Amino acid sequence: MKRLSTLKSILLLAVFSMFVVSCDKEDDNPTDKMENDAMATIVETAQATDALSNLVAALGQADAGLVETLSSEGPFTVFAPTNDAFVALLDALGDDYNSLEDFDTQAEKDLLRDILLYHVITSKVLSTDLAEGDVPTAYADNSVQVIASGGTFVIGDASETDANITAVDIEASNGVVHLIDKVLLPQAAIDFVMSLGEEEEEEMESNIVELAKSVDDLSLLVDALIQADAGLVDVLSGDGPFTVFAPTNAAFAALLDVLGDDYNSLEDFDTDEEKALLAKVLTYHVVGAQALSTDLSDGQMIATVQGEDVTVSLEGGVFIGDATDTDAQVVTADVMASNGVVHVIDKVLLPQEVLDLLAPATPNIVGLAQSVDDLSLLVDALIQADAGLVDVLSGDGPFTVFAPTNAAFAALLETLGDNYNSLEDFDTDEEKEILATILTYHVVAGAAVESGDLTDHQMITTVQGEDVTVSLDGGVFIIDKTHTGAQVVTADVIASNGIVHVIDRVLLPQEALDALGH
């Protein structure tokens, strides 16, 4: 955005007075006039000098008749800034002024005209005529200051930096040119440059929330701050300072994809628990201090408002590590706000606290068995026994369960004969009691025993009361009262209240063998 004040029209009178002076001069020496006519004018001299091409461009861009004026009879003295001097001026003005063509509004052209007139003296002053002191210019009532410095002269303007005269006494038909290494600035131009700085400060007055609202690719971050309903909009609109790692819209979309069908948009975080979860995610992106990208170091640990740290990696870019195995890359760094700084990242950061909350709950032993197709007959047996075993094995535990597969139960039924075609044939109270006896013979209470803790020939007492024996000869086997080993085909399946080892045979205690007549 460009902003400048309208300059006084009195400056035009200065140009007019230059014409009056030139027209009123008498031609006392016709010979001198003939010699002057053979020489190049100041404008032609500048046009023929490579180092003054920007000056020539500026005279044209000002669109104020300065080319015609400095091609007239004169005499004039011009302190002519070199190309490098104009480049330095444009750099000082900032991104809105990349070339002289960016002085394109009438107000800017007027400003450029005034700067150029500030380099013109309406008389011929050779280097031998220079004397320390103020010299009036063609710009209104302004003067430049000639300053003696180490046997040479420099030219002072309204700024704090003087211009060095790098070449003197370049004669023209209508005056003389001295090259200088800086564009001279009158006070009005200084005020303009200061106004640009003030404008930048005004642009920085947007706080972090306002900044995010102004960036299309951060719209989902703004939606998340609002949806969390935790006052985060107010916090990040406050004094700060804050550093915010701001995930893009694509980063939030990727998170929703990972969360599954229950989270199609941020609006699906609609319960109090889900809003609290979203707030934890968002505060994990906020640091209670300002940290520019240049302040970050490789391996640095940064504490977030959520309470956990993120880790900085500078290998191949700037990356922010969370509690997952995938880092977020900083795609845009150091976006300044009035209350801190924003670094845009390509992934939503997740703290361990949130990962724990998002992780599916580990089922208890009954729930685990219900989730495994090959243990469906075990579940049916627990229910058919009608002895409260479902409730027991859903309790706190810990338990160790040797869980027979469906094929193991089918083999048992085949062994029992035609009277037992399915588990539903255990239908009398006595038969249900036998089934409960068999099932409790597969349960160890008070411990979750992993396969690595089992030892050869170990005797383990079951809930039913009788022992089973461990054999580690050629695998892990559990031996019952038939003296036949059931092999552990899947070990160490963790449940919330214990551990399950899947076996390929139904274990039978002596009590059940006696009851079944075997």
pLDDT digits (tens, 9 = 90+) for 313-368: 999 999 999 999 999 999 999 999 999 999 999 999 999 999 988 877 789 999 99
Q: Once rounded to an integer, what is the mean pLDDT over residues 301-323?
A: 96
pLDDT digits (tens, 9 = 90+) for 174-233: 999 999 999 999 998 888 777 665 555 444 578 999 999 999 999 999 999 999 999 999
Q: Are residues 404 and 458 in the same domain?
A: yes
- What angle in degrees, to the nearest 10, is found between the helix axes of 106-117 and 11-24? 50
Choosing from 136, 171, 199, the residue where a domain stops is 199
Q: Are residues 418 and 343 in the same domain?
A: no
pLDDT digits (tens, 9 = 90+) for 382-391: 999 999 999 9
Question: Would the pLDDT of 10 be above 70?
Answer: no
Is position 393 within any domain? yes
Yes or no: say if 145 and 95 are a contact pair by the CB < 8 Å rule.
no
**Does 6 or 120 have the greater pLDDT score?**
120
Residues 6+ apart with CB under 8 A from 136: 121, 122, 142, 143
Q: Are residues 248 and 370 in the same domain?
A: no
Is position 321 within any domain? yes
Q: Are residues 375 and 472 in the same domain?
A: yes
Question: Would the pLDDT of 44 be above 70?
Answer: yes
For every residue of 397-417, DSSP letters joined together read --EEEEEE-HHHHHHHHHHH-
Q: Are residues 431 and 337 in the same domain?
A: no
For every residue of 471-490, DSSP letters joined together read E-SSS-EEE-TTS-EEEEEE
Is position 279 within any domain? yes
Choosing from 333, 358, 383, the residue where a domain stops is 358
CATH of the domain at 77: 2.30.180.10
Nearest alpha-carbon partner for 215 in 347, 337, 340:
337
User: Residue 306 pairs with which residues in a beta bridge?
Assistant: none
Q: Are residues 144 and 256 in the same domain?
A: no
Choosing from 289, 323, 358, the residue where a domain stops is 358
CA pair distance 491, 470, nearest whole angstrom: 14
In the predicted model, what is the mean pLDDT of the chain?
89
Is position 2 within any domain? no
Supply the range of the domain harboring residue 299: 208-358
Residues 6+ apart with CB under 8 A from 476: 451, 454, 470, 487, 488, 491, 501
Q: Are residues 389 and 336 in the same domain?
A: no
Is position 6 within any domain? no
Question: Would the pLDDT of 454 be above 70?
Answer: yes
Cα–Cα–Cα angle for 428, 433, 436, nearest 5°?
125
Residue 25: which pLDDT band, with cuts at 50, 70 and 90? very low
pLDDT of residue 19: 30
Is position 4 within any domain? no
Is position 1 within any domain? no
pLDDT of residue 33: 38
Count of structural domains, the chain? 3
Task: Please report, for residues 21, 67, 329, the alpha-carbon distance to residue 8 in angstroms, rounded to integers and kept in the order given.
Answer: 22, 21, 52
Joined together, the tokens standing for residue 440 give: 């409790």
Our measurement of the distance from residue 254's CA atom to the centroid of its chain's CA atoms, rounded to an integer in Å, reads 15
pLDDT of residue 517: 78
pLDDT of residue 208: 96
Q: Are residues 482 and 512 in the same domain?
A: yes
Yes or no: say if 143 and 155 are a contact pair by the CB < 8 Å rule.
no
pLDDT of residue 518: 65
SS3 361: coil
Count H helices and E strands in the chain, helices first: 20, 21
Dihedral sign of CA atoms 218, 222, 227, 230 in order: positive
Amino acid at 140: A
Question: Would the pLDDT of 43 be above 50?
Answer: yes
Q: Which helix (H) or strand (E) holds 334?
A: strand 328-337
Is position 144 within any domain? yes
Task: Please report, for residues 7, 24, 25, 201, 516, the alpha-carbon distance to residue 19 in angstroms, rounded to integers and kept in the order given.
Answer: 21, 9, 10, 43, 130
Q: Are residues 334 and 387 in the same domain?
A: no
Torsion of CA 237, 243, 244, 245, to 10 degrees: 170
Joined together, the tokens standing for residue 428 give: 């009398």
Residues 6+ apart with CB under 8 A from 435: 381, 384, 385, 423, 426
How many Cα atoms are found within 13 Å in the side-chain-facing hemisphere of 264?
A: 1
CA pair distance 175, 65, nearest whole angstrom: 18
Q: Can you list the alpha helix ranges (DSSP code H) found in 393-517?
A: 406-416, 429-440, 510-516
Statement: the pTM of the whole predicted model exceeds 0.95 = no
Pairing of strands 309-313, 319-321: antiparallel
Q: Are residues 192 and 221 in the same domain?
A: no
Q: Are residues 387 and 341 in the same domain?
A: no
Q: Are residues 229 and 186 in the same domain?
A: no
pLDDT digits (tens, 9 = 90+) for 484-507: 999 999 999 999 999 999 999 999
